[in-house]
Each structure stands twice: as C-alpha cells, then as structure tokens.
Structure 1
Amino acid sequence: MSTAWQLIGEEGTEALTLTRLAECAGVTKPVVYDHFGTRAGLFSELYKEFDRRQTALMDAAIAHSEPTLPAIATVTASSYIDCVLHQGQEIPGVIAALKGTPELDEMKRNYSKTYIQKCRNILAPYAKGGVISDASLWALLGAAEGLSYSAASGEITAEQAKFELSELIVAIVERSIHQVTAIL
C-alpha cells in the first residue's frame, strides 16, 4: 500500500496500474493481482485505508475534546483536514479515480454516508432536539472536502481550512437550533 501511495504521489493516479505497482514494489505481477484483483480493487483498498486512518484520528480527537460545541467543531474540522494533509495530494486523485466506475462510486458514496452519520451522532447533542438536516450534513462534507483539498494544494493554509470548517460546523448546528425553533 505504501508503494501505491508513493507512486501516486510521484506520478499521479493514471500511472498506478497493477503491473506498475508490482514493478515498483519488487514483486511479481501475480502477487499484486492476487491481492487486489483489479485496478479498481486497488483504489478501493487505498480509499479504505484512508478512511480507517481518518476515522481513528477523528475518534481519538473527539475522545480527548471538551464536550462543548466549539471544541467538538474544532476537533472535527482539524481531524478531517489533518488526515487529508497527512495523505497529501494523493487522496484527491484516489477519490477522482473512485468516480471511474459505478461500483467504486457507490463505495465512496457509502463511506460518505457513514461519515455524515458519524457527524450527526457527534453534533446532535448540541442541536436543539438533536436534529441536524441531511442537507446541512452533506454541505458540511462538501466543505470539508473542498477546504482540505485546497489546503493540500497550497491554495489556502491548513489553519485557514480548519478555522473555516470549524466555523461552518458551529453555524450548521446553531442554524439547526433556529430551524427547529421556527418549526415549533
């Protein structure tokens, strides 16, 4: 896996084939084909590894955070941005490759839904009635992806990305308080 990440970092996702991975890793092609099956299988495993790392980072940050909305928003934003930055420029390419087939696109979508549910569970205690809309959570995810990729490419700093995402999280939760109040 580390060889695959390195290859993507140096040459981009287009260069990552199972044959090229075998060459770079110093193993025979059958070893790589037996392990990943297809190029799509390789990209799937890369994304799964990234998601596991992101989940572990977020869980650890939440566990050590103060139980206040600003603190939870800060660690949620920081863990997302930090994980993408740790992976570097490679993860946007991997995510783009996931859009290449319906199966991989569905896998990415399922991971996105899982992340959204995790955010709902983390943030709901701070929302009136424990309700945060699906649309708000999808907006949060889109902002997290956009800000983290912008930070990874150097268009903004990591601190700017973390601050904006944290502020957005607080705004989404506070907005949900107002939405519930307006409905009542």
Structure 2
Amino acid sequence: MSSTGNGGGAASPRRRLSREDRRRQLLNVAWRLARDEGTQALTLGRLAEQAGVTKPVVYGHFGTPTGLLLALYKEFDARQTALMDAALRKSGPGLPDKAAVIASAYVDCVLEQGREIPGVVAALAGAPELEATKREYQALFLEKCRRVLAPFAGAGRIADAGLWAMLGAAEALSYAAATADVPAAQAKAELFEIIVAMVERGARGGSSRAGDAA
C-alpha cells in the first residue's frame, strides 16, 4: 500500500534557495568555519564542501577568497553600524550617554561576532581591496562619532587626531575583550573614558603642547 502526505513515499524535493538566501547560508557557514577552524580554512572549496554546494556556486557569490573575506568584513561593519544607530536613538541626551553607547556598541559587536573578526581583518592585511573598504568604513564611522559628540565640545572642535586615536583604542580594546585578555566591562569603561576625555579636550580648545605654544 502506498503512502501519501508527509508520512512516507518519495521525499519532497529540496526547496531551491534564492540568491539572497544562498548568500546568507554561505556567509553563516563561513563565519562558523572561521570560528571553528580559523581563517586559514576559508577557501572557496572548503566553503562549498561545508555548505553542500558546488564550487561554481561559491565562486559566483564571492569570486575569490579575498572577496569572501571582504563580504564577511562588510557584514560585520553593517551589523556594528545598526547596533550603534539603534542604541543612539534610545540613549539619553548627555555626553556620558552618547559616549557609553559608542563604547558599548563597538565592544559588544566584536564580542557578538567572536574571535573570528580579528582573524578576518588579519587575513586581509595588505590586501588593497580591504584597505580601500576599511578606510571608507572608518571614515563613515568617525564622521558619525563627530556628529554625535560635536555638540558637547561647545565652541571647540573635535580634532581628527583625537577621533583616530579613539578608533585605534576601540579596535584594540574590543579585540582584547574578544580574546579574553581584558574583561569586556573594563574594555568598555576604558573606551568610555577615552571618548569623554577627547570631547572635553576639544571643548577646551585642545590641550596639546603645540596648541599651548600657538
């Protein structure tokens, strides 16, 4: 006796993923590979094997291993931007509120992604494509921070050097938290202090020796 419905008979054909859904699947598998096996495992062939697709499918989405790493980096940046934007909308109006959001959002996003994002960035070191992409995203992040923090600098201004120093501290502290070299709460607190000090220095018109000598 033949069986009908879900109870038996021939298996239903697997639903074909849309291009967007397939890309989402491939990126999820790539993040897992980077976490479990390290970024050295992120070859297009290995990704195809783990995702259960043919190599041409993976090549069609990313082109090269660098293209895959860039896609991961861009996705991480988009997630970080969305997290900070949402937190800023809900935050209080004062400088401590905004500084706390920037510090917490930066560290939390790296922690959410895990140790694999420092590995992705390291794997892309020296790649011209990453350098251009990273600089573009860094500039957008710094300009956003300037807009958020500038009202608290009064008649002064937040210097570019201060913003770049803040970004360097944010990257170092968040990666240290991701590798458990520094507790996350301590990383956030230190970054918060750096941001507040940068803004207050701008409000005073700068306190560098060069500024005092001018």
Q: Return the TM-score normalized by structure 2.
A: 0.82
* Structure 2 residue corresponding to 1:20, chosen from 23, 46, 49: 46
Q: How many residues align?
A: 184
Q: Which residue of 1 aligns with 2:176?
A: 150
Q: Does 1:62 align with 2:94?
A: no
When you count helix as a share of all residues, which structure comes out higher?
A: 1
The superposition leaves residues 32-73 of structure 1 with CA deviations (integer Å, 9 ceiling, x where unpaired) of: 000111111111110111011000000011000001000110
* Distance (whole Å) between structure 2 residues aligned to residue 26 and residue 87 of structure 1: 23
Q: Secondary structure at the match of 2:155?
A: helix
Q: Does 1:49 align with 2:78?
A: no
Q: Return the TM-score normalized by structure 1.
A: 0.95
AA matched with 1:21: L
Q: Which residue of 2 aligns with 1:166?
A: 192
* Distance (whole Å) between structure 1 residues aligned to residue 203 and residue 77 of structure 2: 30
* Distance (whole Å) between structure 1 residues aligned to residue 155 and residue 73 of structure 2: 34
* Distance (whole Å) between structure 2 residues aligned to residue 90 and residue 133 of structure 1: 32
Q: Secondary structure at the match of 1:27?
A: coil
* Structure 1 residue corresponding to 2:103, chosen from 55, 77, 82: 77
Q: Secondary structure at the match of 1:2?
A: helix
AA matched with 2:35: G
AA matched with 1:140: M
- CA contact 1:65–1:71 (8 Å) conserved in 2: yes
1:164, distance to aligned residue in structure 2 (A): 0.5
Q: Which runs of structure 2 are paired with 1:2-17 in the superposition (5 Å)?
A: 2-17=28-43
- Higher gyration radius (CA): 2
- CA contact 2:156–2:205 (8 Å) conserved in 1: no
Alignment root-mean-square deviation, CA = 1.5
Structure 1: unaligned runs, 5 residues or longer: none
AA matched with 1:168: I
* Distance (whole Å) between structure 2 residues aligned to residue 122 and residue 8 of structure 1: 34
Q: Which residue of 1 aligns with 2:134?
A: 108
- CA contact 2:114–2:178 (8 Å) conserved in 1: yes
1:85, distance to aligned residue in structure 2 (A): 0.2
* Distance (whole Å) between structure 1 residues aligned to residue 156 and residue 46 of structure 2: 49
> Higher relative contact order at CA 8 Å, sep ≥6: structure 1 or structure 2?
1
Structure 1's consecutive aligned runs of 4 or more residues displaced over 2 angstroms after TM superposition are 179-184
- CA contact 2:80–2:109 (8 Å) conserved in 1: yes
1:97, distance to aligned residue in structure 2 (A): 2.1
* Distance (whole Å) between structure 1 residues aligned to residue 109 and residue 195 of structure 2: 18
- Percent identity, aligned pairs only? 60
Q: Does 1:96 align with 2:139?
A: no
